[in-house]
Amino acid sequence: MVQEHWTNFILTTPKPVFFSAHPTGEIHQDSKAIADDLECVIIKVTANKISAIITDNASVMKKAW
């Protein structure tokens, strides 16, 4: 069985809009990698256009916050 891990980003404007998705590949999805991915999206979208970021409540996500 092949398991692929992906990171997906959806924006709401107010309707959901697909922004990006990419496979994480060999990158270990620790809190630093997640925070770096979020930062890249924030920079691309521009911070003043973002009012919230929503993730699940997994411990690695909480650390990335």
Has residue 39 got a pLDDT over 70?
A: yes
pLDDT for the residue 46? 92
Task: Name, in order, each residue with C-beta under 8 angstroms of 18's C-beta and a sequence gap of 6 or more.
Answer: 8, 10
pLDDT for the residue 1? 67
Has residue 21 got a pLDDT over 80?
A: yes
* Cβ atoms of 35 and 41 closer than 8 Å: no
* Cβ atoms of 33 and 63 closer than 8 Å: no
Burial class (CB in 10 A: 0-12, 13-18, 19+), 29: middle
Task: Tokens for 44, please give them.
Answer: 């691309």
